[in-house]
Amino acid sequence: MSTAWLTDLARIYPPARLLTQPAQLAPYESDALTAYKTRPAAVVIPETQDEVIAAVRICYQHDVPFVARGSGTSLSGASLPIQDGLLIALNRLNRIVRLDPEERIAVVEAGAINLNVTKAASPYGMYFAPDPSSQLVCTIGGNIAFNSGGAHCLKYGMTSNHVLGIKAVLADGEVVTLGGDSLEGAGPDLVGLFVGSEGLFGIALEITLRLLPKPERYRTILAAYDSLTKAGDAVAAVVASGLLPGALEIMDRLAIEAAEAAVNANYPPNAAALLIVELDGEAQQVEEEFRRLKPIIEASGAYEIRVARDDADRMRIWKGRKSAFSAVGRLSPDYLVNDGVVPRSRLGEALTEIERLSAAYGMRVANVFHAGDGNLHPLILYNGREAGAYQKAEQLAGEILRLCVAYGGSITGEHGIGVEKRDYLPVMFGENDIETMHRLRRACDPKEIANRGKMFPGGGAPALHQAGPHPLEVAGVISRE
């Protein structure tokens, strides 16, 4: 391997921020899809946007593939490094450049942590709406690249719906500015195309985010059911009523067990399914919505219904839900998180079919999902130390993804394709569709060096490796959603 590019990088980066020793590189080998592991040739830790731009230009000049990484919380292997390539770690590029409560925008660098945007906006009574479960550590750059979701997409949309402008360096080194400060645009929605492009166009450096006033009132209901079907029917009834809740979430028995074991959520005992319905908005409107929601839930066959009394109570209800994924780690040494989406009317069928597959494969599957969006998160439990177990789990995950597409849904609701689901892209899209995406990619990255091996099927074999849960997950800092 030529090292001319490393020499070039060393002219810009001091040794402490240009890592090449195996021990230094080890922490960057995986993201939250821990089954995959690749050691990059080097890691750089830029502190300024200019340093990122310089690194990209050096990579382009020397044909070196690069991967941008935030906090490495991707569940689809989005920030898995490339062997012999460069990893650009953006955590120190984390300034909140400008926060303007009157214009309701925050301009932040790519490495800024999701929750820190809300923290910075909080004194003004505002917040950043997208709330992936890893929001304590995940970065805005990663949220942008994979169009992250969260528990409140039903009403508020995904990350993309909250991004107004992006300054980015394309893979060939050109710096572009897309969008602006306004909610509206005149001309093609270039920001919309960039968000969710999985790092294949280049690296977002600075992002203009839209802030919202914090909802004045929340009404959060927890309902327990003796069957998953009843919980699913309740969701359909709520949706059909014309109410628009901020969140509609379901957990099944195995997921509830896990949440209880992990955070002692104090959920109603013996539930086969739990439903969380949350209304939010202007106080008078929410109270009226709540008055209409109550009889719907009361008639839904729940054997226990709790209504959050205050904010602390509400947080307790959410704590169990938000920690459910990492909690499953208590039930099994390893698990895969699926992210398929089905039309809401097919939820019941999909769950029945997943149950059948679980039995057929002899593998336990826990279900936690954004019921309002039809976004399923079956957690496939396996033991990576058993020979062939991972492959079997992956095969089961693949069957679930095919099922979602057959029902008219999607292979990913909010985690992106990454490395994990790239072989399934052709299940959802035809040859022309994928070729169009290739052309767009090459228009920004003619050498295909930016996040090579992601999203498109068949690009560069990543190394499979059994690693167990992410260290941050073990520490309870992040969770998978």
**Cα–Cα distance measured from residue 370 to residue 251, given in angstroms and rounded to the nearest whole number:** 9
Judging by beta carbons within 10 Å of its beta carbon (0-12, 13-18, 19+), is residue 136 exposed, middle or buried? middle
User: Whole-number minimum distance, CB 238 to another protein, in Å?
Assistant: 11
- Could you give the angle at the alpha carbon of 161 between the alpha carbons of 160 and 165, nearest 5°? 65
User: Whole-number minimum distance, CB 7 to another protein, in Å?
Assistant: 31
User: Whole-number minimum distance, CB 2 to another protein, in Å?
Assistant: 29
Which is closer to another protein, CB of 295 or CB of 343? 343
User: Whole-number minimum distance, CB 293 to another protein, in Å?
Assistant: 11
How many C-beta neighbours within 10 Å does residue 16 have? 8
User: Whole-number minimum distance, CB 148 to another protein, in Å?
Assistant: 8
User: Whole-number minimum distance, CB 134 to another protein, in Å?
Assistant: 15
Which is closer to another protein, CB of 8 or CB of 249? 249
Q: Which residues, in sequence order, are CB contacts of 42 under 8 Å at separation 6+?
A: 6, 9, 18, 19, 20, 25, 86, 87
Tally the residues of the chain. 481
Q: Which tokens sit at 255? A: 């997921």
Which is closer to another protein, CB of 22 or CB of 431? 431
* Cα torsion angle, 129, 133, 137, 138, sign: negative
Which is closer to another protein, CB of 174 or CB of 355? 174
Q: Which residues, in sequence order, are CB contacts of 327 under 8 Å at separation 6+?
A: 255, 258, 259, 261, 262, 263, 479
Which is closer to another protein, CB of 329 or CB of 372? 372
Which is closer to another protein, CB of 89 or CB of 444? 444
CA dihedral 308, 312, 314, 318 (to 10 degrees): -140
Which is closer to another protein, CB of 137 or CB of 236? 236
Question: How do strand 217-225 and strand 304-307 relate by DSSP bridges?
Answer: antiparallel
User: Whole-number minimum distance, CB 463 to another protein, in Å?
Assistant: 24
Task: Name residue 455's beta-bridge partners.
Answer: none
**Cα–Cα distance measured from residue 13 to residue 89, given in angstroms and rounded to the nearest whole number:** 13
